Amino acid sequence: MAVLNVRLDDDAYESLKDLAEAEGSSLSEFVRDRLLEFVVPLPREHGDEPAPDSFSTRDRLMLSLLHRILARVLPEDADGDDGNMDYQLQKAQIIESGFTGEYWFEVAGFETELSKQDCRRVIDILQMFRIITFSIERLQKQGEKLDEALLYGLRFRGFDHNDSLEGHMARYVRYQMRDELHWAELQPQAEAADDGNSHMQMLDIYMRMLTEYRKIMKTRERRFDRDAYFLSADELRAIDAATVHPSNRT
């Protein structure tokens, strides 16, 4: 992997550090992601992938063969996501005949890609709430009385299904929680929040919480026991306070 060295004046460097911190990422990650977005712009609208203008002859041959093979192996009464024989043969005909105006049929249901950066953000957010949840349970077992408003503010509430990016993130959360074993401690919170639909944009709030959470974790000694990950009541309150936008804090 290539390395790029850039010289900046002190003011520009500090500004970049502040922006990276606000987003909850390291300075190196922040600058790399911004450069990649400039060189290879990432689509911001999430939804159905637009149909390609054309396929190469090799791709058309492969797709045609796959459709014809699937048409032959499907049961006569097939009625699932793969359709039936006629459905697959229709797709083969479109590809073989080069009906570019019908290529949407080939990619129907495909979504715009969720970037690695956004996938990583979702995992980091879930991991933060996992530690928060375990920390709350531990404190309560120790007899600590935590305010109900604090407990509510520290619950995972999913993402806004009406926002294209957050809706895509919500579907990634559902994939992550695809069975009872994955993120089991957070599944009841997602279910209680209208199956992970926050009905309001949450990403900025989560990123502020994540920034505070990372600050706390950076102060910890590097250890390999479970106690190294638990949060105190004061640390939980600090993360909860980060949900309020800086301009609205008193």
pLDDT digit string, tens, across residues 3-61: 788 888 888 888 888 778 776 678 887 787 777 656 554 445 666 778 889 999 999 99
DSSP readout, 158-207? -B-TTSHHHHHHHHHHHHHTSSTTTTTTTHHHHHHTTTTB-SS--HHHHH
Mean pLDDT of 106-120: 90
> 57-83 burial by CB neighbour count: b if 16+ within 10 A, else e?
eeebeebbeebbebbeebeeebeeeeb
Is it the case that residue 211 has pLDDT exceeding 80? yes
The pLDDT of residue 42: 47
Q: What is the mean pLDDT of the chain?
A: 89
Tell me the pTM.
0.76
Vertex 181 angle, CA 149 and 116, to 5°: 80
Provide mean pLDDT across the span 87-104: 95
Up-side HSE of residue 155: CA atoms within 13 Å toward CB? 16
Tokens of 153: 């503010």
Mean pLDDT of 67-95: 93
154-179 average pLDDT score? 96
> What is the token pair recorded at 7?
């010289």
Distance CA 111, CA 50 (A): 9
Q: What percent of the chain has pLDDT over 70?
A: 93
